Amino acid sequence: MEKILKDIGEFGLIDEIKRWARPNTPRVRLGIGDDAAVLSAARGKDILFTTDMLIEDRHFRRSEATAYEIGRKALAVNLSDIAAMGGVPTSAVIAAGLPADLPVDFAREMYRGLKDLARVFKVDIAGGDTNLSEKIILSVALLGEVPRGKALKRSGAKNGDVVFVTGSLGGSYASKKHLHFIPRIKEAGFLAGNFNIHSMMDISDGLAMDIHKIAKASRVGILLSERAIPSSGDIQRALTDGEDFELLFTLPPAEAAKLTLTPPKKGLAAFHPVGKVVEKKYGVRLVKNGGTVVKLAEKGFDHFR
C-alpha cells in the first residue's frame, strides 16, 4: 500500500528532507535541524534576497506537471530573479504546505526536482518549514550575492539605450517551457561581467507587461519593434503569455553594438535587440510590421485578475 504523508508525519518528512539537503559548500555553517540556519557572508559583496511561491491550480496542476517538474520550477523561478539582478545564487530555504493524503513518493520527487536544480547552480538548501495544506504550496526564499554596488535594477534605463531580450518569447505553457526553462544565471553573469548594463529584469508576466515596469522605474519611454521580437510564432503570445523567464535589459548603443558583434558563446542563449529607450513623453509603443506605431497596452499575467 502506498505511503502518504499522514503515515510518516511532519517529522518523518523532515527527516526525509534532511537526508538529501546536506550542504554543497562551506557557506552553510549550520543547516537543517536547528531554529535557524547559519551562513557565512562574503566580504565585498551585497546580499540579494528573493522569494516566490507556487500554488497548486494557480501555477501548476498535478494532472499536467510531474512532481519533479513542480519542485524544479519552485527553485527555478527564484533563480531567475537572482539572474535578473546580475547575481550568483547561494542558499535557499523551502516552506511547503502539503495535503496529508499526498503520496510520500510524490513529495520525494518534488524535493528531488529542487535538489537537482540546486546542484546545477551550486545552491545550498539550508532549511525551511512544512505544514498541512489542502493543496500543494511551495515557497522558496533564495539568497544570492553580487559585487558591492553592482546589483542590476529596473530603474537604470537611459534615453538612447538599446533594449534586448534573451532566448525566445511566447507559448511557454503550450511548450511546457514554464516547467523546463533554464534560469539565465550564466547569461546574466556574462552580461554583468563584460558590458555596461543599465537596467535588467526577468520576463515573468509577459514582455508587454514587464517592459512597462522598466519604463516606469526608469521614468523613460520605450519603443519596441514587432519584427525584432523573437517569438515562438505568435507575436501576441510573445507579448502577453508570460512565464518566459528570459532576461529583459538595456544598455547604451556602443555597448549594444559590442554585444551584437560578439560571437555567440557556447552554452548561452541568444541576445536579441528588440527596441530602444526614448523620452518619457512618448510612452511605451510598438512599431508594427507594416510601420504603424501603436500604444503598447500594459497587458500580461496578473495574479489578481
The model's pLDDT over 276-292, given as tens digits with 9 standing for 90+, comes to 999 999 999 999 998 89
Domain termination residue (choose one: 111, 128, 147): 147
Residues 212, 111: contact at Cβ < 8 Å? no
Residue 2, pLDDT score: 76
Residue 234 located in a structural domain: yes
pLDDT at residue 36 tops 90: no
Residue 5, pLDDT score: 65
Average pLDDT, the chain: 89
Within this chain, do residues 143 and 200 fall inside the same structural domain, yes or no? no
Residue 130 located in a structural domain: yes
> Which sign, positive or negative, has the C-alpha torsion 257, 260, 263, 265?
positive
Burial of residue 198 (number of CB atoms within 10 Å: 0-12, 13-18, 19+): buried
As a whole number, mean pLDDT of residues 74-88 equals 95
Within this chain, do residues 160 and 143 fall inside the same structural domain, yes or no? no
Domain termination residue (choose one: 80, 115, 147): 147
Within this chain, do residues 61 and 173 fall inside the same structural domain, yes or no? no
User: What does pTM read for this prediction?
Assistant: 0.89
More confident residue, 250 or 25: 250
Within this chain, do residues 134 and 223 fall inside the same structural domain, yes or no? no
> Which sign, positive or negative, has the C-alpha torsion 194, 197, 203, 208?
negative
CATH (domain of 260): 3.90.650.10
Residue 304 located in a structural domain: no
Residue 290 located in a structural domain: yes
pLDDT at residue 67 tops 80: yes
Residue 161 located in a structural domain: yes
For the chain, percent of residues with pLDDT exceeding 70: 87
pLDDT at residue 25 tops 70: no
- Into how many domains does the chain fold? 2
As a whole number, mean pLDDT of residues 183-203 equals 97
- Closest listed residue to residue 147, CA positions, set 218, 81, 48, 78: 48
Distance CA 174, CA 124 (A): 32
Residue 127, pLDDT score: 86
Residue 68, pLDDT score: 98
Residue 34, pLDDT score: 46
Question: What tens digit of pLDDT does each residue of 160-190 get?
Answer: 999 999 999 999 988 999 999 999 999 999 9
Residue 305 located in a structural domain: no
Question: What is the Cα 118 distance to its own chain's centre?
Answer: 14
Q: DSSP H helical segments within 141-280, as ranges?
A: 177-180, 185-194, 207-218, 235-240, 253-261
Within this chain, do residues 135 and 241 fall inside the same structural domain, yes or no? no
Within this chain, do residues 214 and 290 fall inside the same structural domain, yes or no? yes
Within this chain, do residues 108 and 204 fall inside the same structural domain, yes or no? no
pLDDT at residue 37 tops 60: no
Within this chain, do residues 92 and 177 fall inside the same structural domain, yes or no? no
Residue 76 located in a structural domain: yes
CATH (domain of 37): 3.30.1330.10
More confident residue, 292 or 18: 292
Strand-pair category, 293-295 with 246-251: unpaired
Residue 301 located in a structural domain: no
Within this chain, do residues 129 and 163 fall inside the same structural domain, yes or no? no
Domain residues for the domain of 177 are: 154-295
Within this chain, do residues 252 and 217 fall inside the same structural domain, yes or no? yes
As a whole number, mean pLDDT of residues 15-37 equals 61
Within this chain, do residues 104 and 186 fall inside the same structural domain, yes or no? no
Domain termination residue (choose one: 91, 126, 147): 147
Question: What tens digit of pLDDT does each residue of 218-271 get?
Answer: 999 999 999 999 997 789 999 998 899 999 999 999 999 999 999 888 999 999
Question: What tens digit of pLDDT does each residue of 119-134 get?
Answer: 999 999 988 888 999 9
Within this chain, do residues 248 and 114 fall inside the same structural domain, yes or no? no
DSSP state of 4: B
